[in-house]
Amino acid sequence: MTSRRATLGLLPAAVAFGAGLGRGAAETAKSLRVGVQKGAALVVAAKQNRTLETLLKPLGVDVQWFEFAFGPPLLEAMRVGSVDIGSVGDTPPIFAQAARANLLYVAAAPSGESAILVPSGSTVQTLHDLKGRKIAFARGSSAHNLTVAALEKAGLGYDAIEPLYLAPADAAAAFERGSVDAWTIWDPYYALYETRPGVRVLARSTEITTQNSYFMANGAYTEANPRIIASVVAEFARIGEWAASHRDDVAKLVAAETGVPLAATLRALERNPLRVLPMSEAFARVQQEEADRFRGLGLIPRPIKVREIIWRPTA
């Protein structure tokens, strides 16, 4: 029987991302530091299957893994040069670029679902009912964007709510205590809580706005090691192709890594496209609209142009 690791190796190359590692490449790095978020299926699958280690071993490049609770801390570590590449939601890159971090978009990944949850006994029935309520979400995260977009859809301003900027674990505790009126959150937390007694899904991200995830890389590292980054991104694209047709296997890998129950993990994966794609004009346009939204609300300190930090590798 063919192993999962072997199956990954049989997938076709994702040539849209550029050339693979070739002899005579000018790479200088001896390590690649990868940021991992809880439940980031493709990154977790790569870690568990050691596919990046296999890819980079011929070059003498050591792969190191660093775990983060959510996107903003991961990109902060990348900004200071402690992480070289990682996958985050749509909003962290916008806040990072506004803070003048030297980061680059190197690939896109259509997101799974996020949601706005309300606790047992809540009288909130519509998005408009969020007026005057306490809503928990992580500042600068994709949940921040979903909250803002949901308020816009309901005809409410950002000042209509009381935002509570909480990391996922802290928001979960507040939600369970009944200290907040709603919680905006992504998978696998969404999958963990949506089936709790009395918890309701007030709105799903797919009903509100387009959201994507992105592979980001440290700009200096990418400039010095373009073939490594191109090949690693292509490897993630291959993992995505495999994962999309092996969701049960991926769910087991992710559940083992995160401790999230298998049923919840599989539910989260079933609504995740599990695709890695080159950056395109469509992705850039969606990100720019989001950046303009945050700037208009005064939530980032300056206007930004997303296209300025999209990596365009040469062949």
Q: What is the pLDDT of residue 288?
A: 98
Helices (H), 80-198: 92-98, 142-153, 168-177, 189-193
pLDDT over 80 at 295, yes or no: yes
Residue of 21 and 109 predicted with greater confidence: 109
Percent share of the chain, pLDDT over 70: 91
Please compute the mean of the pLDDT values over residues 207-222 and round it to a whole number: 97
pLDDT over 70 at 25, yes or no: no
Residue of 148 and 19 predicted with greater confidence: 148
Q: Using CA atoms, how far apart are residues 135 and 49, in angstroms rounded to an integer?
A: 38
Task: For 125-176, write each residue's pLDDT tens digit.
Answer: 999 999 999 999 999 999 999 999 999 999 999 999 999 999 999 999 999 9
Confidence band for 280, pLDDT divided at 50, 70 and 90: very high
Q: Using CA atoms, how far apart are residues 30 and 62, in angstroms rounded to an integer?
A: 6
Q: What is the pLDDT of residue 27?
A: 64
Q: Using CA atoms, how far apart are residues 231 and 136, in angstroms rounded to an integer?
A: 38
Please compute the mean of the pLDDT values over residues 277-301 and round it to a whole number: 97
Q: What is the pLDDT of residue 26?
A: 54
Q: What is the pLDDT of residue 9?
A: 35
What is the 3-class SS of 188-202, one letter each residue? CHHHHHCCCCCCEEE
Q: What is the pLDDT of residue 230?
A: 96
CB–CB of 105/88 below 8 Å?
A: no
pLDDT over 60 at 21, yes or no: no
Q: What is the pLDDT of residue 267?
A: 96
Q: What is the pLDDT of residue 294?
A: 97
Confidence band for 39, pLDDT divided at 50, 70 and 90: confident
Q: What is the pLDDT of residue 28?
A: 77
- Which residue carries 């490449």 as its tokens? 25
Q: What structural domains does the chain harbor?
A: 4-112+211-309 (3.40.190.10), 114-207 (3.40.190.10)
pLDDT over 50 at 19, yes or no: no
Task: For 220-275, write each residue's pLDDT tens digit.
Answer: 999 999 999 999 999 999 999 999 999 999 999 999 988 999 999 999 999 999 99
Global model pTM greater than 0.85: yes
Confidence band for 286, pLDDT divided at 50, 70 and 90: very high
Return all residues near 65 (Cβ < 8 A) that are at least 6 apart.
33, 34, 36, 47
